[in-house]
Amino acid sequence: MGDATDCAIAAVARSAQEWGGFLLVGHGVPMELLTRVEEQIKGLFALPALEKERAARGGGYGYGVPPYILSFSKLMWSEGYTFSADDVRSEFRRIWPNGGDDYMRFCDVMEEFHKEMRALSKKVLDMFYKALGISADHIGEVESQIRDTMTTTMHLNMYPKCPEPERAMGLAPHTDSGFFTLILQSLVPGLQLLRRGPERWVTVPAVPGALAVVIGDLFHILTNGRFHSVLHRAIVNQDHERVSVPYFLGPPKDMKVAPLPAAILPGRKAEFRSVTWREYMVVREKMFGKDASALAMLRVTEDERDAELAPGMN
């Protein structure tokens, strides 16, 4: 992905608005590195259960499934591991307390991947700004602040072969809560996006070297609803295990996120209240298993609009 052409920017805008995601190719992250990342992850999950349990999930990080999937009735057929991409060495000391070659190789590969993905995520953000009509010379203070402070969380998913795939789910339907996610997946399809009207699940093809990009809820807010945070899920299959590595980009947990003034279309108003990622997670957790979405809870109401207009009218 060098300098994006107008045509590529238009395609990004269309996919982000209509689908909430797309496949990124020609991004420059070496294919050979992606293969090494996948090998290391398979090695990690192949460790004996007792060794993985040493790093049991707590405080949002570690080995285990994220709590939200426990609120779904279908059997979840996956293992997971979440960590801060900036903290690989201390996190994986929990798995390999004595260090050693396996530990060093794992950390080296994850750090190399993080470095490449971080650089790529800034290019993707710039591409999104352009797709919103915010050109390079019009990037304002907020846009630069977002670019400079974006945080990165990595999550590893392992979906073993499943004897009865139709009775299980790899990862239950969800939206990602942050800005956007870059997903590396094995050459085994499994990621599905919910296409709107008429609703149907569409499988993202497994293209060698491609990364899937998925828009998250806070980006939906930032773009005043122009980019769609897409519901997605992972299915499992009988014949092949599958690995995926979502690389989550978001703001620092306590930074207020509100619609970017430059992204609000002429004649429109800000449609969402400002919220931090931490606050958003609390709202979202309360909405799990309910019909309404957490994003709907953050929509500015007619009453709030009127109240906002009132002082100027006095």
Q: Rule CB under 6 A: which residues touch ligand L37FFZMX?
A: 60, 66, 68, 82, 153, 155, 174, 176-178, 248
Element (H, E) at 13: helix 6-18
Q: Which residue is nearest to Fe ion (CB)?
A: 176
CA distance 92 to 203: 32
Instruction: Residue 146: name its binding partner from ligand AKG, Fe ion, ligand L37FFZMX, none (Cβ under 5 to 8 Å by kind).
Output: none
Task: Tell me which of ligand L37FFZMX, Fe ion, ligand AKG, none is bound by residue 178, counting a contact when its beta carbon lies within the kind-specific cut-off of 5 to 8 angstroms.
Answer: ligand L37FFZMX
Structure token digits, residue 260: 């970017």
From the list ligand AKG, ligand L37FFZMX, Fe ion, none, pick the one residue 60 interacts with, judged by a Cβ distance below 5 to 8 Å according to partner type. ligand L37FFZMX
SS3 call for 299: strand
Our CB check for ligand L37FFZMX shows the closer of 129 and 248 to be: 248
Cβ neighbours of 165 (radius 10 Å) = 17
How many amino acids of this chain bind Fe ion (CB under 5 A)? 1
Pairing mode of beta strands 180-185, 211-215: antiparallel
- By a kind-dependent CB cut-off of 5 to 8 A, residue 121 interacts, out of Fe ion, ligand L37FFZMX, ligand AKG, none, with none
Residues 200-259 that bind ligand AKG (CB under 6 A): 232, 234, 244, 246
For Fe ion, which is the closer residue by CB, 66 or 209? 66
Give the pairing type, strands 191-195 and 232-234: antiparallel
Q: Which does 162 bind (CB under 5 to 8 A by kind): ligand L37FFZMX, Fe ion, ligand AKG, none?
A: none
Looking at residue 265, what DSSP letter applies? P
The residues in 170-229 that bind Fe ion, with binding defined as CB under 5 A, are: 176
Of 223 and 244, which CB lies nearer to ligand AKG in the complex structure?
244
Binding range to ligand AKG, per CB under 6 A, among 11-19, 183-191, 219-227, 269-277: 183-191
Place of tokens 């460790």: 47
Residues 158-177 that bind Fe ion (CB under 5 A): 176
> Residue 244: which of Fe ion, ligand L37FFZMX, ligand AKG, none does it interact with, CB under 5 to 8 A by kind?
ligand AKG
Whole-angstrom distance, CA of residue 231 vs CA of residue 195: 8
What residue 153 binds from Fe ion, ligand AKG, ligand L37FFZMX, none (CB within 5 to 8 A, per partner kind)?
Answer: ligand L37FFZMX
Q: How many CA atoms lie within 13 A of 167 on its CB side?
A: 4
In the list 76, 146, 191, 249, the residue contacting ligand AKG (rule: CB under 6 A) is 191
Q: Which CB contacts under 8 angstroms, 24+ apart, belong to 255-259?
A: 255/149, 257/218, 257/221, 257/222, 258/221, 258/222, 259/221, 259/222, 259/223, 259/224
247 - beta bridge partners?
Answer: 154, 182
DSSP structure class, residue 61: B
- Judged by CB under 6 A, the stretch of 93-101, 121-129, 182-190, 253-261 that binds ligand AKG is 182-190
User: How far is residue 65 from each of residues 54, 62, 138, 156, 271, measured CA to CA in Å?
Assistant: 15, 9, 42, 10, 33
Residue with smaller CB distance to ligand L37FFZMX, 130 or 251: 251
Residues binding Fe ion (CB under 5 A)? 176
